[in-house]
Amino acid sequence: MQTFPYASSVAARALLVVLPLLVFCADGSAQTKPPGAFATVNGVSVPQSLIDQNVKVNIAQGQKDSPELRQVIQDELVNREVLAQESTRLGLDKTPEAQAQWAQVRQTFMVELLLNDYMLRNPIAEAILKAEYDRQMALMKDQQQYHLSLIVTPTEDEAKAVLARLRKGEVFSKLASEKSLDPSKKDGGNVGWVVPAQILPAISNVMVNLAKGALSAAPIQTPAGWNLIRLEDIRPFKASTFDEAKNDIRQMLVQKQRFEYVKRLRDNAKVVQ
């Protein structure tokens, strides 16, 4: 669910008004709001549930539930309904381009609904998490751990340009934040401690041959893009506790479970290409 921007300034607080029990149609006639709606726009109900969903998302992102927040969300939802109706009136949703985009949006939404439903119906048991933890610890106990930093770019030329800047002394974390496609960009490219078995061989084969503080000599191609790595440090393997590792293991198993589910559905589908 997309969140809506809001401000906690005096200007935003000034938006707070008590919504009346009646709303008014374009011709000035009064109309009672239907059950479950906080407003109607040209006779179209805007459900209260949309406000509740957006409030939950904002709270999850660190905001506080307040009358001001709810009012700004209400105003935004009404504005969006007004704009959507005008777009429909102009027939903008009828163009082939719009229809294709809408089909893709719907498909993405339905895919997420399906996968989330599948995971709710097939939760990963604590015993499975523990068994996977024990398996990983047994594999890793005699290995070295490598503290890795990473920058991923979409093209080889971009990776080479970033590498040239690094060799001139620019700060790795700054360039990672600016240029990297990898989620680690939010931490300046810091991947943390890994063992070779946890990452792609194309990267691990280079990583294990780097000296502490060294950069990869050239960009490394993987399905995610073109990778530049720097080895920050090396140490003997230090095992995480089960509680420390549990969330990461769950995410890994969830991805594996989703992949297997998709593959099973694909194998049973009649696909003509």
Take residue 134 and report the two structure tokens written for it.
């024990």
Among residues 21, 19, 26, 22, the alpha carbon closest in space to that of 41 is found at 26
One digit per residue, the tens of pLDDT, for the chain of length 273 reads: 344 433 333 223 223 233 333 333 444 444 567 888 999 999 999 999 999 999 999 998 888 999 999 999 999 999 999 999 999 999 999 999 999 999 999 998 999 899 999 999 999 999 999 999 998 888 777 788 999 999 999 999 999 999 999 999 999 999 999 999 988 999 999 999 888 888 889 999 999 999 999 999 999 999 889 999 999 999 988 878 899 889 888 988 988 898 899 999 999 999 898
Fold (topology level) of 142-236: Chitinase A; domain 3 (3.10.50)
Q: Say how far apart CA 141 and CA 234 lie, in whole Å.
A: 15
Task: Report H helices in 146-241.
Answer: 156-167, 172-179, 201-207
Q: Tell me 215's DSSP state.
A: B
Task: Report H helices in 61-147.
Answer: 67-89, 96-121, 126-140
Tell me the residue type at 144. Answer: Q
- Strand 190-194 and strand 37-41: pairing? unpaired
Q: Say how far apart CA 186 and CA 251 lie, in whole Å.
A: 19
